[in-house]
Amino acid sequence: MPRQVDHVQRRSEISAALWQVVSESGLEGLTLRSVAATAGCTTGMVTHYFRDKKALLAHARSVMHRRMADRIDAMPLRHSDPRAHLYAVAEQALPLDEERHLEAVVWSSFLLTTRTDQELLREHSVSHASWVRRLTTLVRAALPGEPEPGNLEERVRALVVCLDGLALNAVTDPDAYPPDLQRRVLERQLDLILEGNRTL
């Protein structure tokens, strides 16, 4: 099936070019033309796979999510230490290295497009809800007792927004939020949302 392989290969090349464009100039530099130029093909070839700029945006975000999910799925389960497992998963959302910094740039740039685009907002809502569910399972496993549902939700949201705020600040001003500070704040936040259970 040489043609099928060509298709997959070509789509993957365009996807890689798209990611490279975002890396170099952010979502604001992402156009059909810039992707074509980077991939060394025509704009028509790009539109064969991605019909418009919105499709490029959605693809950049889905690649970002897949990368993160792949890293998490590749982790060994650490039933013996649920807090360490929670930390390891949560940390995947922080721009602690070059790869995750780029992902955070795509994530934060994409977020602002949702304000004026219902379709992209739906994509965001679905994946955000799935992230919240994933963390809820892990937080519940790491808590010593069983909190009541509203209380558990508040703890999880406190973790989710902490990760988002850290990522946003680290993307905005990397010098003010270096990896070491991000890690310390995340550890502190886990202390807080897990230790807080003692007062239940």
What is d(CA 6, CA 25) in angstroms, rounded to the nearest whole number?
28
| In the chain, alpha helices (H) | 2-25, 32-39, 43-49, 53-73, 82-90, 98-113, 118-142, 149-172, 179-195
Nearest-approach distance from CB 165 to a copy of itself, in angstroms? 3
| 112 binding a copy of itself? (CB under 8 A) | yes
Nearest-approach distance from CB 181 to a copy of itself, in angstroms? 7
* Burial call 97-123: b when 16+ CB within 10 Å, e when fewer: eeebbbbbbbbbbbbebbeeeeebeeb
Q: Give the tokens for residue 112.
A: 């602002």
Please list every residue from 44 through 103 that binds a copy of itself, using CB under 8 A: none
Q: Give the tokens for residue 163.
A: 């990760």
Geometric angle at alpha carbon 59, from 55 and 60, rounded to 5°: 120
Nearest-approach distance from CB 157 to a copy of itself, in angstroms? 5
| 34 binding a copy of itself? (CB under 8 A) | no
Crossing angle of helices 149-172 and 118-142, in 10° steps, is 120
What is d(CA 159, CA 165) in angstroms, rounded to the nearest whole number?
10
| 158 binding a copy of itself? (CB under 8 A) | yes
Rule CB under 8 A: choose which of 108, 139, 142, 143 binds a copy of itself: 108
| 161 binding a copy of itself? (CB under 8 A) | yes
Nearer to a copy of itself, 49 or 177 (CB): 177
Rule CB under 8 A: choose which of 141, 165, 178, 200 binds a copy of itself: 165
Nearest-approach distance from CB 195 to a copy of itself, in angstroms? 7
Nearer to a copy of itself, 49 or 131 (CB): 131
Cβ-Cβ contacts under 8 Å for 40 (sequence gap 6 or more): none
Nearer to a copy of itself, 67 or 128 (CB): 128
- Positions in the binding site for a copy of itself (CB under 8 A): 25-26, 28, 105, 108-109, 111-112, 114-116, 121, 124-125, 128-129, 154-155, 157-158, 160-166, 168-169, 171-173, 176, 181, 184-185, 188-189, 191-193, 195-196, 199
